[in-house]
């Protein structure tokens, strides 16, 4: 690793660790930022590198959320009684139960969506282009409606996740969820980065650029597509599990299988930053979150209009995302060799 890189990563890590202490009032927003970056990073595996515009990653996020909460409750108390009539009975988790439940819940929240992705991947990833996009869009919607009818997870009444136990100070809940989401973000980044440094990424790019040709070259594209989706599902599930605990209340269509918000945001964020790059989704998600929070504060009631304008501006002026735009403007900074004479000739041509 180059010196510069080490400084950069160290700076980010230090900022990440210190953030809740420097900005104590923003812990929840920072945790959500971490979750958003995880979602954008994992969406980029499909949408950016593989060229498969998936609206279905929200399925894994929602699954993870319900599974984590269910395990956390079900390990110690009867789940059906917890959710009955919208939570008539209240059981209180002791601190040990809460953290144990959360640990096992997150484990399940990562593993089950991964398995689901593997199972449905074979049929769904056979579709291409618009058909794939529409099919995955349906996945999220269907999951939302189905889970809204399952009594044991609260159905339409929603599912109140276990409240954070009385340990430490008022700040400890925020810190706990922040560090949890930050750790997941770091893990996701490391995983994605290491995957991108192998042949795997080249295969995904080959699928994006010409799937038939890739197959003709003897690459088992389906295998790679499924593995890619499973990686996404693993981290989406984790993100969902954390988000459920953070929000404290799971609603089938508005919080868990929130396709029209989270499902669309993860696409937007990756495109804003530049899909098909490692840093694009990170920058896109950060900018997006900042803009959104800003619009919410200063354009009350008009925030979605402002967001719409932002999207139009992105599509018109930065169709390749911020990273794409930067790359075009300063190719040498991205390690591309530019022939000065050639560039001059191009400028003169214009």
Partner 1 sequence: MKLNKIILSFISALAILLSSSATSFAKVVGDKIVLGSAISLTGKYSSNGVHTQNGYNMAVDRINSMGGVKVGGKTYKFEIIYYDDESNPKRAAQLAERLISQDGVEYMLGPYSSGLTKAIAPVTEKYGVPMVEANGASRSLFTKGYKYLFAVLAPANLYLDVAIDLAVEKNGGKPVSVAMAFEQDAFSQDVRLGVLEAIERTGSKKVIDDKLPKELNDMAATLAKVKAVKPDVLVVSGHTKGALTAIRQIAEMKVDVPMLAMTHCDAAKLSKQHGKNSQYALCASQWHKTLTYKDDFFKDGMTYDADFKKLFDYAPPYQAAESSAALLVFKDAFERANSFDKVKVRDALAATDMQTFYGNIKFAAGGQNVDKPMVLFQVMCDGDKCENKVVAPTKWASAELIHPIPSWSKR
- Residues of this chain that interact with partner 1 (CB under 8 A) are 2, 4-5, 7-8, 11-12, 15, 22-29, 32, 85-90, 145, 148-149, 155-158, 160, 163-164, 170, 173-174, 243, 246-249, 251-255, 258, 261, 279, 283, 286, 290, 296-297, 300-301, 303-304, 326, 330, 332-335
Q: Which is nearer to partner 1, 185 or 226 (CB)?
A: 185
Name the DSSP letter for residue 163. P
Residue whose C-alpha is closest to residue 255's, from 265, 239, 243: 243
Measure the N-to-C terminal CA separation of the chain; round to a whole number of Å.
39
Q: Which is nearer to partner 1, 202 or 290 (CB)?
A: 290
Count H helices and E strands in the chain, helices first.
14, 2
Q: Which is nearer to partner 1, 148 or 276 (CB)?
A: 148
Q: How far is it, in rounded angstroms, from Cα 281 to Cα 273?
A: 5
Shortest CB 103 distance to partner 1, Å: 21
* DSSP per position, 114-135: HHHHHHHHHHHTT--HHHHHHH
Q: What CA–CA distances, in Å, run from 95 to 166, 167, 168, 184, 241? A: 7, 7, 11, 22, 18
Three-state SS annotation for 36-83: HHHHHHHHHHHHHHHCCCCCCHHHHHHHHHHHHHHHHHHCCCCHHHHH
Q: How far is it, in rounded angstroms, from Cα 194 to Cα 188?
A: 10
Q: Which is nearer to partner 1, 118 or 165 (CB)?
A: 165
Shortest CB 224 distance to partner 1, Å: 28
Shortest CB 313 distance to partner 1, Å: 18
Q: Which is nearer to partner 1, 145 or 209 (CB)?
A: 145
Q: Which is nearer to partner 1, 157 or 222 (CB)?
A: 157
Shortest CB 36 distance to partner 1, Å: 12
Shortest CB 160 distance to partner 1, Å: 6
Shortest CB 274 distance to partner 1, Å: 12
- Tokens found for residue 86: 């919208």
């Amino acid at each position: 690793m180059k010196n510069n890189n080490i400084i950069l990563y160290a700076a980010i890590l230090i900022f990440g660790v210190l953030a809740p202490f420097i900005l104590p009032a923003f812990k929840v927003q920072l945790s959500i930022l971490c979750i958003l970056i995880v979602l954008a990073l994992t969406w980029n595996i499909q949408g950016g590198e593989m060229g498969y515009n998936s609206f279905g990653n929200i399925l894994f996020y929602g699954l993870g959320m319900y599974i984590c909460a269910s395990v956390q409750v079900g390990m110690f108390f009867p789940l059906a009684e917890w959710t009955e009539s919208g939570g008539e009975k209240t059981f209180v988790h002791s601190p040990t139960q809460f953290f144990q439940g959360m640990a096992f819940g997150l484990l399940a929240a990562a593993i089950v969506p991964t398995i689901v992705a593997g199972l449905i991947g074979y049929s769904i990833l056979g579709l291409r282009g618009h058909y794939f996009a529409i099919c995955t869009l349906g996945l999220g919607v269907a999951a939302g409606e189905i889970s809204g009818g399952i009594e044991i997870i609260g159905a339409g009444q929603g599912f109140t996740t276990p409240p954070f136990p009385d340990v430490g100070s008022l700040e400890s809940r925020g810190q706990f969820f922040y560090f949890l989401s930050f750790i997941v973000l770091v893990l996701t980044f490391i995983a994605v980065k290491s995957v991108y440094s192998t042949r795997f990424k080249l295969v995904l790019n080959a699928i994006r650029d010409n799937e038939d040709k890739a197959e003709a070259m003897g690459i088992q594209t389906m295998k790679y597509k499924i593995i890619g989706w499973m990686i996404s599902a693993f981290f989406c599930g984790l993100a969902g599990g954390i988000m459920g605990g953070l929000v404290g209340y799971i609603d089938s269509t508005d919080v868990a299988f929130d396709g029209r918000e989270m499902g669309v945001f993860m696409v937007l964020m990756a495109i804003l930053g530049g899909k098909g790059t490692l840093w694009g989704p990170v920058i896109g998600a950060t900018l997006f979150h900042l803009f959104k929070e800003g619009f919410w504060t200063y354009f009350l009631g008009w925030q979605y209009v402002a967001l719409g304008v932002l999207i139009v501006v992105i599509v018109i002026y930065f169709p390749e995302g911020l990273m794409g735009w930067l790359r075009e403007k300063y190719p040498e900074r991205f390690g591309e060799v530019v022939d000065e004479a050639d560039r001059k000739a191009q400028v003169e041509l214009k």
